[in-house]
Amino acid sequence: MAKTIIDKIWENHSVIQENNKPSLLYIDLHLLHEVTSPQAFAGLREKKRTVRRPDLCFATMDHNIPTKNRFVIDDSIALKQIQTLEENCKEYGIHLEGLHSADQGIVHVIGPELGLTLPGKTIVCGDSHTSTHGAFGALAFGIGTSEVEHVLATQTLWQQKPKQLQVKIEGKLGYGVTAKDIVLALIANYGTNAGAGHVIEFTGETVRNFTMEERMTLCNMSIEAGAKAGLIAPDETTYAYIKGKKYAPKDDEFDEKVNEWSGLRSDPDAVFDKTIEINAAQVEPMVTWGTNPSMGVGISEHVPSLNEVQSEKEKESIQKALAYMGLTPGQSLTEVPVQHVFIGSCTNSRLSDLKAAAEVVKGKKVHAEVQAIVVPGSQQVKAKAEEEGLHLVFKEAGFDWRDSGCSMCLGMNPDIVPEGERCASTSNRNFEGRQGKGARTHLVSPAMAAAAAIEGRFVDVRKFVSGLREGEAYAGI
Amino acid sequence: MPGFKTLTGIAAVLDRENVDTDQIIPKQFLKRVERSGFGQFLFFDWRFNSEGSPNPEFELNHEDAKGAEILITGANFGCGSSREHAPWALKDYGFKVIIAPDFADIFYNNSLKNGILVITLPKPVIEELKARVKNGNERITVSLDQQEISLGTDKVASFDFDPYWKEMLQNGWDEISLTLQYDEAISRYEKRIGVV
């Protein structure tokens, strides 16, 4: 029978598989961080259990660490969480990239960067954006703390096999349109539960032409479409990225692995439970206006008018969101002033993201009313960006250039958006209170965020970069 | 963990869709290293005004929601972050059953692992249930054994439930102890694929 890549990975990892029961799946890589692991280690200790395969675990700290003066942690509870991770890793012999490490960074940035994330692996982490690693053709999904404990103790998880959704993306991206805009458009059109109960396989010409960093952005936000995971079959782009990475297979072993990985693709006649098709050429730079990632529109559109929607329930939910966001129905987003700009997060903090933002910022100044920060996804990304002089571009423009971490994506560290203020953010969630109580988050691509920083309001980055004035027709490239 | 058979209790209605885990338990409360004590922070930004007083508008602060053990809510409940602090907070607050048209995947799993009975019902059935709960403030009965929800002797709905999790919840079993019984099978697998 024809199989999808998901079927193949599932089969390869089933320790126990019985009809109509969850499968016991073996886990190849368990990533850990300071926030969702302490209770799992405490659980092990309480029951006098141990870590079965510390060699398949890898830890870092990213969620609550400061991005400025990173070694001075004033928050005593955050500090305790960090120290607890250090102690747990030491006790159980788990490799940790701590605050002082040149390899530290957001867990979903360093996994790929260090060559830990490889095609065909099962990867879990106590973090929903684990789906990012699916860009390499891995089955990667977020788990809760009880499951973290389960994986620590057994290196396995009981999993009901999910349904499979193919998202086929064809067409050439328009100028100024990025992978972030594609995934925001997918969620805006099909909703936050489009992928509920499914794993997504992204296919199509557009995806094939994406770089690994673009693929990571796409897979990262699968969870925002409600999917358990999202993945992309590996190809030459994948192998080229992996080659030479710190922990990746080397020499003959690498060639052998490539041979093995090349079988990781869905058979031509494989059947999906559902297929969604996206025409990338029709997508424009996106901005969210509401309080979940499906509440987004193209920059040339406007916030929905209430007479555009049919159901009372939807009307109510739009009104609620707009009240929180301080917007009015039908309003154009380019009128909306922003006070904060955040370029970072596991969605958009890699070198290519920073380059795209720097391209827009170069030679310009951050608007007087805006506070803007760039938080590289890892210390390696930071070092590479500095080699290329990107930090100077940002600093000269008036951006704050920080150390790596999750930062303002969720505001667990001191990087918080004050109540009632508005942030153009390259992160993944615009939930109420996500970036701080009462904070108003608009999700955008790095280039759109950079343009908003300069203008102090949302602008169409296509016009901004091409030098066109508002109202002039854009011819495209 | 105690097993779950049948519960008769008060139901609270949180009539919102896409309730995310950032709302269920805001991030400032994720820094604790214990599993307990999260109930006081449940729905913090909705439940309390900025100066700390209870927000009388919020559904769970209504008089008839006091002491509720069953939560009836909207679609895609528990979306967003994987934080298990969300079910910890709901459980610590007193909820033992959550009923919704559907749940976000990680939240659903996290809830089961904490012995919370998460029930999926079609929207019209939930609407009926909500209407009846609102009108009479009756106690509702949720039977996992029968996979039924009833008001008094009147059966309102039956629900589907994964047989594996039914057995786990009924017996209050610890999943890790169960898996450790497969230790040999796991070792054989490791040998076969060469991760020894």
Cβ-based burial of B94 (10 A; exposed 0-12, middle 13-18, buried ≥19)? middle
pLDDT of residue B135: 60
pLDDT of residue A219: 98
Asked if residue A476 has pLDDT above 70, the reply is no
Task: Measure the CA–CA gap between A47 and A41, rounded to whole angstroms.
Answer: 10
Q: Beta A286-288 vs A274-279: how paired, if at all?
A: unpaired
Asked if residue A267 has pLDDT above 90, the reply is yes
Q: Beta B6-9 vs B11-14: how paired, if at all?
A: unpaired
Residue A191 CB coordination number (10 Å): 18
Cβ atoms of B121 and B101 closer than 8 Å:
yes
Residue B48 CB coordination number (10 Å): 15
Listed residue (A203, A345, A356, A199) closest to A280, CA to CA: A203
pLDDT of residue A19: 82
B contacts of A80 (beta carbons < 8 Å):
31, 33
Listed residue (A229, A152, A235, A151) closest to A197, CA to CA: A229
Task: Measure the CA–CA gap between A319 and A96, rounded to whole angstroms.
Answer: 46
Residues A211-222, mean pLDDT to the nearest whole number? 98
Mutate one of A431, A440, A443 to test the B interface: name it (highest B CB count within 10 A): A431
Residues A329-347, mean pLDDT to the nearest whole number? 97
| Largest pairwise CA distance in chain A | 69
Task: For residue A474, name the pLDDT band (cuts at 50, 70, 90).
Answer: very low
Cβ atoms of A347 and A428 closer than 8 Å:
yes
- The residue type found at B182 is Y
Interface of B with A in 73-112 (CB under 8 A): 75-76, 79-84, 87, 102, 104-106, 109-110
Cβ atoms of B184 and B19 closer than 8 Å:
no
Asked if residue A465 has pLDDT above 80, the reply is no
Placement of tokens 């700390």 in the chain: B52
Asked if residue A326 has pLDDT above 90, the reply is yes
Residue B188 CB coordination number (10 Å): 12
| Largest pairwise CA distance in chain B | 62
pLDDT digits (tens, 9 = 90+) for A112-158: 999 999 999 999 999 999 999 999 999 999 999 999 999 999 999 99
Query: CA dist A281 to A172, A213, A350, A448, Å?
Result: 5, 20, 24, 18
pLDDT of residue A391: 98
A346 is in an annotated binding site: yes
- CA angle in degrees (0–180, nearest 5) for A364-A370-A373: 80
Q: Which residues make Cβ contacts (< 8 Å) with residue A381, sequence separation at least 6? A: A105, A109, A113, A349, A350, A351, A354, A404
Cβ atoms of B13 and B58 closer than 8 Å:
no
Asked if residue A473 has pLDDT above 70, the reply is no
Provide DSSP, A250-284.
-HHHHHHHHHHHTT-S--TT---SEEEEEEGGG--
B83 contacts A35? CB cut-off 8 A = yes
- The residue type found at A134 is G
pLDDT of residue A313: 85
A contacts of B76 (beta carbons < 8 Å):
192-193, 196, 226
User: The tokens of A128 are what?
Assistant: 């929903």
A contacts of B19 (beta carbons < 8 Å):
none
Residues A184-212, mean pLDDT to the nearest whole number? 97
A150 contacts B176? CB cut-off 8 A = yes
B contacts of A77 (beta carbons < 8 Å):
31-32
Domains of chain A: 5-276 (3.30.499.10), 286-465 (3.30.499.10)
pLDDT of residue B2: 86
Overall residue count recorded for chain B in this entry:
196
| Chain B closest-CA separation from residue A419 CA (Å) | 11
Three-state SS at A209 = helix
Task: Measure the CA–CA gap between A108 and A60, rounded to whole angstroms.
Answer: 10
Residue in A with minimal Cα distance to B111: A144
Task: Measure the CA–CA gap between A206 and A222, rounded to whole angstroms.
Answer: 17
Order the strands of the A163-170 sheet from edge to edge: A229-231, A198-203, A163-170, A274-279
| Chain B closest-CA separation from residue A355 CA (Å) | 28
User: The tokens of A192 are what?
Assistant: 């936050």
Q: Which of A77-81, A93-97, A401-405, A448-452 has the lowest mean pLDDT?
A: A77-81
A57 is in an annotated binding site: no
Asked if residue A384 has pLDDT above 80, the reply is yes
pLDDT digits (tens, 9 = 90+) for A56-102: 999 999 999 999 999 999 999 999 999 999 999 999 999 999 999 99
Residues A176-183, mean pLDDT to the nearest whole number? 97
Residue ranges of chain B with per-residue pLDDT less than 50: none
In B82-160, beta strands by DSSP E: 97-100, 117-120, 140-143, 148-151, 154-158
Provide DSSP, B139-188.
-EEEETTTTEEEETTEEEEE----HHHHHHHHHT--HHHHHHTTHHHHHH
Looking at every residue in chain A, the average pLDDT score rounds to 95
| Chain B closest-CA separation from residue A95 CA (Å) | 17
| Chain A closest-CA separation from residue B90 CA (Å) | 15
Residue A168 CB coordination number (10 Å): 17
SS3 content of chain A, % helix, strand, coil (to 5): 40, 15, 45
Order the strands of the B140-143 sheet from edge to edge: B6-9, B140-143, B148-151, B154-158
pLDDT of residue B137: 61
Asked if residue A284 has pLDDT above 50, the reply is yes
A406 is in an annotated binding site: yes
Task: For residue A466, name the pLDDT band (cuts at 50, 70, 90).
Answer: low
Task: Measure the CA–CA gap between A345 and A354, rounded to whole angstroms.
Answer: 11
Q: Beta A286-288 vs A296-298: how paired, if at all?
A: antiparallel
Q: Beta B140-143 vs B6-9: how paired, if at all?
A: antiparallel
pLDDT digits (tens, 9 = 90+) for A417-433: 999 999 999 999 999 99
What is the CATH T-level fold of the domain B6-193, as seen in this structure?
Aconitase; domain 4 (3.20.19)
B162 contacts A160? CB cut-off 8 A = yes
Share of chain A above pLDDT 90, in %: 94
Asked if residue A22 has pLDDT above 70, the reply is yes
Asked if residue A467 has pLDDT above 60, the reply is no
Instruction: Give domain limits for chain B.
Output: 6-193
Cβ atoms of B128 and B153 closer than 8 Å:
no
User: The tokens of B89 are what?
Assistant: 């907070």
Dihedral through CA B38, CA B40, CA B43, CA B49, nearest 10? -150
Cβ-based burial of A18 (10 A; exposed 0-12, middle 13-18, buried ≥19)? exposed
Residue A240 CB coordination number (10 Å): 11
